[in-house]
């Protein structure tokens, strides 16, 4: 078996992995190696040719390839290395090792002082939501369609229905329209938008594409090729109301029905997994339940903006490098981050309190839309902070900042309290 030794190994060469590599090198890590299964670095951003990236991190509007390219260039200039066309088979935290395979070296064992998980996420498919009907050609996930049209120059259809108002789905509604296709409807099960409001405005409203909230696709019609779909309104329990069912003739159905963190390797390594996010449980250093394993980006929880992925991944790379050098701060205690009223989850899930005061940013999503909201952070019966938000929506990340020196209890709670509460 081919052997490679390094200080920090990063699994995944997308925006999370590249950001982690940059931060690790800047923190003084020796050999930093990125393992990537694709033939190029950049991850999903290689197919995201639309603008809208970097608005908060760079204060510029970039395309996906431009955003990834900045981090790729910086990582390589700083001395990070990449092992491309390589599939990771197993992570062995007790042996400080990663087992992967590639065509050049065959089975390869990479030993490292710290390991960063940055595998990203994948799309939920038709099988995951069990739409009845036949199995014709013309049913794609939105991301698969995006890759086909943006990287392989293949148009997937002419008359499109999109199930799910996730960001990729709305962006593909615009993309297909610009390619001359007709997007007949975007159908959303919930009574609120699943993605960013700005994408609704720029991708649906600006192109006159109808959005049907509280609706779903009940059946797919067609044999060799999709011929149409049946769409119906749903009740408060998300059950279709058959009397409202309508038939929409189309040749393509795109699915934008959620993303799932890629955590097969994480589970096999037996690290703690959050039942809410389906990603590793981490502290503010993005350190998992195995102290030499760190995780970042969409493998931890699905973010709305790549800029937020970068911030978290920079932390992962920074502290993975510190761990490799034996310089991670010693914890006085560890407290749990507890989601309160109208908060679905908090990330990081735990906060390590050291002697030196730190500012920790807690990212979260709300469970339901609301307006004129106060974000209240509490610990040990004390209120740590108040933060006003004009509106909150499950499709958009929120955050609060806390100081570890102000934590007085065994947990930290964040609530999103509406005006009428």
Q: Please state the domain extents for the chain.
A: 1-122+260-328, 125-257, 330-421
Distance CA(345)–CA(259), nearest Å, equals 16
Q: How many CB atoms sit inside 10 A of residue 290's CB?
A: 18
What are φ and ψ of residue 292, in 5° steps? -95, 0
Structure tokens given for 299: 């493998």
Q: Contact, 351 vs 334, CB < 8 A?
A: yes
Note the pLDDT of residue 420. 61
Pure H helices in 30-186: 64-77, 126-129, 142-151, 167-178
Note the pLDDT of residue 96. 96
In CATH, 330-421 is 2.60.40: yes
Report in angstroms the alpha-carbon separations of 28 from 133, 293, 314, 320.
56, 18, 13, 11
Reported in sequence order, the residue ranges of 213-314 that DSSP labels E, i.e. its strands, are 215-221, 228-233, 246-249, 252-255, 259-261, 293-295
| 421 residues of the chain, pLDDT tens digit each | 999 999 999 999 999 999 999 999 999 999 999 999 999 999 999 999 999 999 999 999 999 999 999 999 999 999 999 999 999 999 999 999 999 999 899 999 999 999 999 999 999 999 888 898 889 999 999 999 999 999 999 989 999 999 999 999 999 999 999 999 999 999 999 999 999 999 999 999 999 999 999 999 999 999 999 999 999 999 999 999 999 999 999 999 999 999 999 999 999 999 999 999 999 999 999 999 999 999 999 999 999 899 999 999 999 999 999 999 999 988 889 999 999 999 999 999 999 999 899 999 999 999 999 999 999 999 988 999 999 999 999 999 999 999 999 999 899 999 999 876 4
Domains 125-257 and 330-421 share a fold: no
Note the pLDDT of residue 332. 86
Q: Contact, 42 vs 68, CB < 8 A?
A: yes
CB burial string 255-270: b at 16+ within 10 A, e below: bbbebebbbebbeebe
Q: Is 3 left (phi over 0), alpha (psi -120 to 50) or beta?
A: beta
Reported in sequence order, the residue ranges of 301-379 that DSSP labels E, i.e. its strands, are 331-339, 343-347, 350-354, 359-366, 370-379
CATH superfamily of 125-257: FAD/NAD(P)-binding domain (3.50.50.60)
Note the pLDDT of residue 294. 98
Q: How many CB atoms sit inside 10 A of residue 46's CB?
A: 18
Q: Which CATH number fits domain 1-122+260-328: 3.30.750.24, 3.50.50.60, 3.30.470.20, 1.10.287.70?
A: 3.50.50.60
């Amino acid at each position: 078996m081919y052997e490679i030794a390094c200080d920090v190994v990063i699994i995944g060469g997308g925006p999370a992995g590249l950001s982690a590599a940059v931060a690790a090198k800047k923190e003084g890590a020796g050999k930093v190696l990125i393992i990537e299964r694709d033939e190029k670095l950049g991850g999903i951003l290689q197919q995201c040719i639309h603008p809208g990236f970097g608005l908060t991190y760079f204060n510029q509007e970039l395309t996906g390839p431009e955003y990834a390219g900045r981090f790729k260039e910086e990582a390589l200039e700083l001395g990070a290395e990449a092992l491309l066309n390589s599939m990771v088979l197993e992570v062995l935290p007790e042996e400080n090792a990663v087992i992967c395979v590639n065509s050049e070296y065959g089975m390869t064992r990479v030993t490292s002082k710290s390991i960063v998980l940055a595998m990203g996420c994948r799309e939920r498919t038709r099988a995951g939501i069990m739409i009845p009907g036949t199995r014709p050609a013309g049913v794609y996930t939105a991301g698969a369609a995006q890759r086909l049209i943006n990287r392989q120059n293949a148009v997937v259809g002419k008359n499109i229905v999109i199930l799910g108002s996730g960001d990729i789905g709305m962006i593909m509604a615009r993309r297909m329209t610009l390619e001359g296709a007709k997007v007949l409807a975007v159908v959303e099960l919930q009574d609120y938008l699943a993605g960013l409001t700005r994408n609704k405005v720029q991708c649906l409203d600006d192109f006159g594409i109808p959005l049907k909230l509280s609706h779903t696709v009940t059946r797919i019609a067609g044999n060799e090729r999709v011929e149409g779909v049946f769409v119906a309104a749903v009740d408060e329990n998300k059950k279709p109301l058959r009397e409202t069912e309508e038939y929409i003739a189309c040749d393509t159905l795109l699915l934008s029905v959620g993303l799932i963190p890629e955590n097969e390797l994480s589970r096999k390594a037996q690290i703690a997994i959050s039942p809410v996010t389906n990603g590793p449980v981490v502290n503010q250093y993005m350190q998992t339940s195995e102290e030499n394993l760190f995780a970042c980006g969409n493998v931890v929880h699905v973010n709305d903006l790549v800029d937020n992925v970068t911030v978290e991944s920079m932390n992962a790379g920074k502290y993975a490098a510190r761990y490799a050098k034996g310089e991670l701060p010693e914890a006085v205690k560890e407290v749990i981050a507890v989601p309160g009223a109208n908060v679905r989850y908090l990330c990081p899930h735990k906060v390590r309190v050291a002697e030196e005061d730190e500012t920790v940013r807690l990212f979260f999503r709300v469970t339901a839309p609301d307006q004129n909201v106060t974000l209240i952070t509490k610990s040990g019966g004390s209120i740590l902070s108040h933060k006003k938000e004009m509106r909150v929506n499950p499709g958009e990340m929120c955050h609060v900042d806390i100081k570890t020196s102000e934590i007085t209890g065994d947990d930290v709670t964040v609530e999103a309290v509406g005006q009428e509460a």
